[in-house]
Amino acid sequence: MNRISSKQLAIAFIVSRLTTEMIMIPGELIRYGSERFVAILVAKLAVLILYLPLLFLTVKFKGDNFLTAAIRRNRIYGIILSLLFGIVLLSVTVNSVLNLQLYITDTLIGELLLISGTALIIAVALYGAYKGASSITRTAVFAVSVFAFLLLLIFVTMADKLDFSYLYPVFIEDGNYLFRAVISEISCNSEMLVFAVLCKNITDKPNRAVYYSLAVIFVILEIVNLLYNLIFGPYLNELEYPLYVISSLSDVVVFQRLDGIDAIVWLLCGIIKISLLFTSAGELYKTSLGKRKKGWFLAIYGVLTLILCMLIGSDRRYYDALQMIIHSAIPLVFAGVVIPLAVLFTGKKLPRKEKENEEN
């Protein structure tokens, strides 16, 4: 089994969530004003509450994930739950791959064909998933270090462009937007699905991964949002990738603009996020069918993801519909809260003797 520490998983979660912030949130949900600051805070508190069934589950079943507990009760029941969970996981994966492809074509390589881009993203992410959670989290540590350095560099180089008069002391002006922003912020926490599956791979207390990642992400998101507001003011409402524009404005002595290097780092972060989702799918397969290897499954799952990406990516309406479903937070709540909640009451604990034997 590919074991990782809670801190490693927390770092991977930070990378994953930052990817969503940089690349995947629709531009219309990032608006100038105080609402988004409030939305981030409210959403983080809401996510912490939504995590509760999963956290209780790890405590009740001594580090096992929801699927192990469900299968112990009844294999068919477990397989049905894993299928339902897998559908949500697959839709989130497809959405993430398409978002990353859209980001690449919008900013880096405009002519990149859908099949070339998505196939390459999926292939690299599958390789990461094949190597396991430990390898992905080690890469995430590298990515988050570079990301933090670049963010610091952006702050330093843009210091003279920050206009503090853009801030104003009103917290809620548009209640409707605040509600949509909170829901969208909640839906961006697909790490909850990863945690639901990979919590059994954590060597120490799994709940730490949740606390650490939520706290750090909260601080980083508020800082990045502040940066957006201070640089663009009301023009922020018109931008699709604000941090990309900021990085193209910032220059250091050696580089006239930092957007290219930033985009590459965010691309790496995006692949880490998708790798984590693939790893979770692989673990789901291994646990539900009691298999030891996941290589073939990952290959088939990758092909399935590619086919779905081609189908949904072929028409903007399908893509927008998928985005709408994902950003409604319903799939996340279903897979990350409802299913674990059901298992919390119906799952079966491992008898103490068997648990001791397993640990030995």
Partner 1 sequence: MKKISIALMLSLVLSLSLSGCVRYVELSDRAIVQALGIDYIPDRNIYRISMQYFSQTSEGGQNQIDKTQPNVLKSVGEGDSILTAAKNASILSGKDLLLSENRLIIIGSKLCNEDLSRTLQFFISNYHSHPKTYVCAAENTAEELIDIRFKEGYVSSQRLINLIENASSEGHTVADYAYQIMSSLCNSTGSAYLPKLKISEQKTDGTVPKESGEGQKGGGEEQETEKTIVLDGGVVFSGKRKSGIIDSDAATGLQFLSNRMAEYSVTVNTEDYNRSTITLFSVRTAITPGFNEESELYFDISVTADGRFDERGGISETDTEKIISVKARAEQEVTALMEEAVMQIRDNCHSDIFGLEKALRHHYPEFIAENKKNITDILLSAPCIVKVKCNTFSLGLESY
97 or 332: CB nearest partner 1: 97
Region from 11-19, 140-148, 213-221, 236-244 binding partner 1, contact rule CB under 8 A: 236-244
Give the torsion through C-alpha atoms of 273, 108, 219, 135, to 10 deg. 30
Q: Hey, is 157 helix, strand or coil?
A: helix
Q: What are the backbone angles phi and psi of residue 202, rounded to the nearest 5°? A: -80, 130
Region from 8-16, 71-79, 109-117, 277-285 binding partner 1, contact rule CB under 8 A: 109-117
| Residue 28 binds partner 1, judged by CB under 8 A | no
Region from 66-74, 141-149, 234-242, 336-344 binding partner 1, contact rule CB under 8 A: 234-242
| Residue 232 binds partner 1, judged by CB under 8 A | yes
Counting other chains too, the contacts that 110-118 makes at CB distance below 8 Å and 24 or more residues apart are 114/309, 114/310, 114/313, 114/314, 115/306, 115/310, 118/306, 118/309, 118/310, 118/313
Region from 38-46, 67-75, 159-167, 297-305 binding partner 1, contact rule CB under 8 A: 159-167
| Residue 310 binds partner 1, judged by CB under 8 A | no
Strand partners for 202: 4
| Residue 237 binds partner 1, judged by CB under 8 A | yes
Among 29, 38, 245, 289, binds partner 1 (CB under 8 A): 245
Among 173, 315, 320, 354, binds partner 1 (CB under 8 A): 173
221's tokens: 């998101």
> Using an 8 Å Cβ cutoff, are 92 and 276 in contact?
no
| Residue 179 binds partner 1, judged by CB under 8 A | no
Strand partners for 4: 202
**Numbers of helices and strands, H then E, in the chain:** 17, 0
287's tokens: 């646990």
Give the integer Cα–Cα distance in Å for 204 and 274. 24
| Residue 244 binds partner 1, judged by CB under 8 A | yes
> Using an 8 Å Cβ cutoff, are 40 and 216 in contact?
no
Region from 41-49, 54-62, 243-251, 317-325 binding partner 1, contact rule CB under 8 A: 243-251
Among 52, 55, 102, 120, binds partner 1 (CB under 8 A): 120
**Which residues of the shown chain bind partner 1 in the complex (CB under 8 A)?**
106-107, 109-113, 116, 120, 165-170, 173, 232-235, 237-241, 244-245, 248-249, 251, 257, 259
